[in-house]
Each structure stands twice: as C-alpha cells, then as structure tokens.
C-alpha cells in the first residue's frame, strides 16, 4: 500500500533502466502487431457496413445500439475491471504465489458473472428508456428508435462475453503473455464479419432476420471467439475456472475498492461519446430544417482511423507498461516506476504525434480509399474526413491517458483519475453545447479532442506531484523534437499528395497512389528528421518493431 501525499525515494533503489525500458518497448511491439491485425479486421468490418448500409438510418441505429453494451464494457470490463484486476492479480502473483492468484481469479470471475447477468437483465428491460436518454433525436425519425431498441437487446449479452475476455487478457498479461490476448480482439472482428454476413445475408432471410439484425448477432459470435481463443493459453499455465464466492479475500476487497472510483476514472471518454451521441442524434440539417441521418455514422467512421494509433501504440504501450509498474509497487521501487512511466509516455508521443498529423493532412484520400464504395458517397467522405481532422488534434492526449490512468491504479490511487474524469465530462458537455450548433458533428469531434488533452495534462500534473518529478524535461524535449519532425513531415506529405493529383488518375486508383506515396514519404522524412534532432526513443521503437525480424534473419 502507498500512503501519504508524496512518495519517498531511496537512492539505493536506482534500477538498471537498460532492462526495464526495452522490455516495455519489446512487449509493446508484440501487442502492437496483434492490435494491428485487430484494427485491420476492424477496418474491414467497417467497410462491410459502409458498402451495405452507408452512413444512414440503419448504421446510425446499429452504432447507437452497440454503444450501450460497449459503454458498459468500458466501464466494467476493459476499463475499471481490467485496471483494478491486473494491478491486484499481479501484486498477488508477485507476493503470494500462483495458487493464491488463481483462487483470486475464480472468486472475481464468479462475482463478475453474477453481477453482469443481473446488469444485462436490467438493461434489457429498460432498453427503451436508455435509448431515449442516449439518442432522443432518433424518436423524431420514423422507425429509427424502434430499430435501435431491437438491436440493443440483441447485443446486450456481448457484455458478459467481453468482460470474461478482458479478465483472461489481464491474467495472461500478468504472466508476461501479451501476443494471444492482444490478438483476441482480432477474433472478435473476424467473428463479427463472418457471423454477421452469414446471419445477415445468407441464413438471415430464412430465419426472418433483417441484414442489420444479422450483423448484430454477429457481434455475439465475435465476443465468444474473443474469449474462447484465450482458453488454451490459460490452460497451459494451469489456470482453470471453478465457481466460488468469497467476500473475505483481501484481493477481492482491493479490486472492489479500486473499481468504484476506477469506473468513473476510466469512463470519461466513453461517457463523453455517450453525450456526443445524444447531441449527434439531434443535429438539424440546415437545408431541410429536420433531424438528419448520418452524423453518428460519420463520427464512428472517423474514429475508426483514430483507433489504429490509439490501439497499436497507446493501448499496446499501456498494456505492456502496467505489469512492470504493478511489480515495482509490489516490492516498492518507485524510481523504477517513474522511469518506466516516463519512457512509456515518450514512446506514445513519438508514435502518436506524427500519426495525428498524417491523419489530419491525408484524411480525405484515406477515407475515400477505404470507405467510398457501395452506399458510402463522396459527401460522406468529406464529412468523415472533417471529423477525423478534428479528432486527430487530441490523438496523443488520448493515447497518453491510456498509459497514465492505469499507472494511478498501480499506485492504489483510483480517486485522482475519478475526479479528473468527472471534471472532463462537465467540460465536454459545455463545449458540445457551444460548438454543435455552429459546427455540427465536427464540433463534437473537436470537443472530444480537447477533453482528451485536458485529461492528459491534469493526470500528468497530479502524477508529477505524486512522484515529485516525472522527468518532465526529457518528455518536453521529446515532444518538441517530435513536433518539429512532424511539421517537416506534414509539409512533404501535403506536397506529395497535391502532386499526385496532377496524374491522369481518378477514383480509387488516385486515392491509392496518394496514400501510398504520401505515407512512404512521411516515414522517410520523419525518420531522418528524428535522427537529425536526436530523438533518443527512436532506437527503442525501431528495435521493438524490427528487432525480432532482424534477429530471425541473422539466425537464417
């Protein structure tokens, strides 16, 4: 346990950072590859929706329906539960051994199953009221609210499946197994695509299902696969489930104690998405003067591109960082804690700042290349790209929060993220009220970015106060140098993208050449600029990503 306002440091505990930092980077690279596979399949999944449903009423309804169990997932499963469980499980494994840690998992899993079943029943009963709160504007469009209610009830069981999958992932991470848990979400997307298409377009008509309802059932197939694919790895480590309930287990007490405020602490972005959906559902078309279809879809399609760097970099680094942070507090070594955290944040900025700049500059050709097919129109491309540019402003802050919030839980402090999140929710609502009338869905995206940046700055400030210092000068130098390199990269990318438009190409061919040529130029210019500016974290990132392949080539 950590008590008091500040931590005390023992100079004798100075770690060899040559071990900690590369391990985080190496484990993050494993997660990155797996998350990349998941994000690619997620993009394919969105392409399927774009082709068959475009950006209209049915996809608006599906997204809003999925957002309800997805919000609960982030509140109770992959957010609060995951952070609280990984911290406690890792500390128990470190201090009391494997058998005690497995007993803790069985007790927690039983409580989760009972709690989420009860929560799901309540959500099913009160679905109409939930939809009215989440998307009141849908009730002004004929049939839209009824479709949303129906799809929500289909997808509610997804919450239990994903909660169990998140807990399995946390255990495997505590055993330093990162690849399979991170790859599990790829199986969710795979199951959603295959199951959705089979049930929506092949078996669905015979079963009386509409195509969009079949896609909703496909999410349940995906959730089951995400959990099931982790079973073999759990069994190989001697982990099996036996139902048991114990409220006297100290580990259970700690998880419950951390989860209370952690539910709020990890929920800011999802609650803000909830609020944004409420605003987006009632956006008025300036031409017709009525509630319009599309804003919810445009925001979702735009955020899909944000999920690449957030998942591949932010979530991957956070996943690899939490276990060593928890171990450093189990046998207190706070200097190691600080150095590991600072190194992880530097990696986040190195990878996410140029990603944000690239998405803002290349938004239109990227969106057109991926989504402008079938029922997805050129107008949808423009609206989605505008939202993407606004979202990209907060990308680095969003990813850094993924690292900082769990770091507080590793210090047994869930109160600080909770208070910051409460404040950010209020800020988001106020900004939405100011921006949505003038800027529509783009104002909502910009509001989300602002909240992510404010959230990060406050978390960093309080973490610095807690640790007395956070290697701020090092982080500041990294951010400044990466920002300069990203500016140089943006100039080249813009010139290349504009130059390609002079070629005698149109449609997908033009967009493909624009994206490929621009991204290749961006990588070269950014790498050279970072070398010139002496960005120290560049070597760690390259070694983490390419080192495994280089070592294999040497063996050959």
Over residues 498-550, the pLDDT tens digits come to 888 888 877 788 889 989 999 999 999 999 999 999 887 787 777 655 544 44
Residues in the chain, how many?
A: 556
pLDDT of residue 486: 93
pLDDT of residue 415: 81
pTM across the whole model: 0.71
Q: Other CB atoms closer than 10 Å to residue 78's CB: what's the count?
A: 22
Residue pair 53/59 in contact (Cβ under 8 Å)? The answer is: yes
CA contacts within 13 A on the Cβ side of 417: 32
Tokens at 526, concatenated: 């950014």
Residue 412 φ then ψ, to 5°: 55, 35
Q: How far is CA 437 from CA 277, 426, 513, in A?
A: 14, 18, 37
Taking Cα atoms as reference points, which of 116, 132, 26 lies closest to residue 72? Answer: 116
Cα(86)–Cα(322) distance, rounded to whole angstroms? 8
Residue pair 388/363 in contact (Cβ under 8 Å)? The answer is: yes
Q: What angle do CA 325, 181, 272 make, to 5 degrees?
A: 70
pLDDT of residue 106: 85
Q: How far is CA 502 from CA 492, 497, 498, 510, in A?
A: 16, 10, 7, 10
Residue pair 52/290 in contact (Cβ under 8 Å)? The answer is: no
Q: What residue spans of 310-377 are helical by DSSP H? A: 316-330, 334-361, 363-371
Q: How far is CA 318 from CA 130, 321, 401, 457, in A?
A: 32, 5, 9, 17
Taking Cα atoms as reference points, which of 104, 110, 98, 113 lies closest to residue 85? Answer: 104
Cα(473)–Cα(9) distance, rounded to whole angstroms? 19
Using the structure block, give the residue that is written with the tokens 């591949």: 312
Give the helix, strand, coil percentages of the chain, each rounded to 5. 85, 0, 15
The full 3-state SS of 473-519, as one line of letters, equals HHHHHHHHHHHHHHHHHHHHHHHHHHHHCCCCCCHHHHHHHHHHHHH
Cα(506)–Cα(400) distance, rounded to whole angstroms? 39
Using the structure block, give the residue that is written with the tokens 């991926």: 370
Residues of the chain with pLDDT under 70: 1-32, 35, 72-83, 260-270, 273, 285-291, 311-312, 314-316, 319-322, 329-334, 543-556
Classify residue 176 by burial, with Cβ atoms within 10 Å: 0-12, 13-18, 19+: exposed
Q: What angle do CA 324, 78, 22 make, to 5 degrees?
A: 25
Q: How far is CA 172 from CA 84, 167, 176, 179, 238, in A?
A: 15, 9, 6, 9, 11
pLDDT of residue 267: 60
The C-alpha torsion from 32 through 34 and 37 to 42, rounded to 10°, is -90
Classify residue 122 by burial, with Cβ atoms within 10 Å: 0-12, 13-18, 19+: exposed
The C-alpha torsion from 428 through 429 and 431 to 437, rounded to 10°, is 140
Q: What are the structural domain ranges in the chain?
A: 28-550
């Amino acid at each position: 346990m950590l008590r008091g306002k500040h931590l005390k440091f023992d100079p004798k505990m100075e770690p060899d950072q040559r071990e900690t930092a590369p391990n985080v980077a190496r484990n993050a690279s494993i997660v990155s590859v797996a998350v990349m596979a998941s994000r690619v399949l997620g993009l394919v999944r969105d392409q399927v929706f774009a082709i068959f449903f475009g950006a209209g009423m049915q996809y608006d309804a599906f997204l809003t329906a999925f957002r309800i169990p997805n919000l609960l997932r982030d509140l109770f499963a992959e957010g609060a539960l995951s952070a609280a469980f990984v911290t406690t499980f890792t500390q128990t494994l470190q201090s009391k051994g494997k058998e005690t840690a497995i007993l803790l998992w069985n007790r927690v899993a039983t409580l989760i199953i009972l709690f989420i079943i009860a929560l799901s029943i309540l959500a099913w009963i009160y679905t109409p009221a939930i939809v009215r709160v989440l998307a009141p504007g849908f009730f002004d469009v004929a049939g839209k609210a009824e479709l949303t209610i129906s799809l929500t009830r289909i997808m509610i069981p997804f919450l239990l499946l994903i909660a169990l999958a998140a807990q399995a992932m946390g255990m495997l991470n505590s055993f330093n197994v990162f690849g399979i848990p991170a790859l599990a979400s790829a199986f969710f997307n795979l199951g959603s695509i295959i199951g959705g298409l089979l049930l929506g377009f092949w078996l669905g008509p015979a079963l009386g299902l509409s195509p969009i309802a079949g896609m909703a059932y496909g999410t349940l197939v995906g959730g089951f696969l995400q959990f099931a694919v982790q079973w073999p790895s759990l069994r190989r480590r001697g982990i099996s489930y036996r139902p048991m309930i114990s409220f006297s287990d100290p580990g259970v007490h700690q998880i419950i104690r951390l989860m209370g405020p952690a539910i709020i602490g990890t929920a800011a972005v999802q609650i803000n998405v909830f609020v944004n959906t409420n605003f987006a559902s009632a956006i008025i078309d300036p031409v017709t003067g009525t509630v319009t279809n599309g804003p919810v879809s445009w925001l979702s399609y735009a955020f899909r591109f944000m999920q690449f760097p957030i998942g591949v970099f932010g979530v991957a680094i956070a996943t690899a960082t939490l276990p060593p942070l928890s171990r450093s507090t189990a046998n207190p070594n706070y200097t190691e804690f600080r150095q590991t955290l600072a190194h992880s944040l530097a990696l986040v900025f190195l990878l996410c700042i140029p990603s944000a700049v690239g998405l803002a500059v290349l938004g239109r050709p990227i969106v057109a290349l991926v989504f402008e097919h079938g029922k997805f129109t050129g107008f949808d491309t423009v609206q989605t790209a505008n939202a993407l540019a606004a979202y990209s402003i907060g990308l680095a802050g969003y990813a850094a929060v993924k690292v900082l919030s769990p770091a507080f839980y590793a210090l047994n402090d869930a109160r600080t993220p909770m208070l910051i999140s409460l404040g950010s929710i209020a800020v988001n609502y106020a900004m939405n009220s100011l921006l949505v009338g003038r800027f529509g869905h783009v104002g909502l995206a910009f509001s989300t970015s602002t909240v992510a940046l404010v959230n990060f700055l406050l978390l960093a400030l309080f973490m610095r106060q807690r640790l007395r210092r956070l290697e701020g000068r090092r982080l500041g130098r990294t951010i400044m140098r990466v920002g300069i390199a990203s500016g140089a990269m943006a100039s080249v990318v813009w010139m290349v993208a504009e130059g390609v438009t002079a070629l005698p190409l149109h449609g997908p061919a033009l967009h493909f050449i624009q994206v490929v040529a621009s991204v290749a130029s961006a990588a070269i210019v950014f790498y050279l600029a970072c070398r010139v500016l002496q960005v120290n974290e560049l070597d760690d990132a390259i070694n983490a990503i390419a080192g495994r392949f280089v070592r294999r080539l040497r063996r050959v």
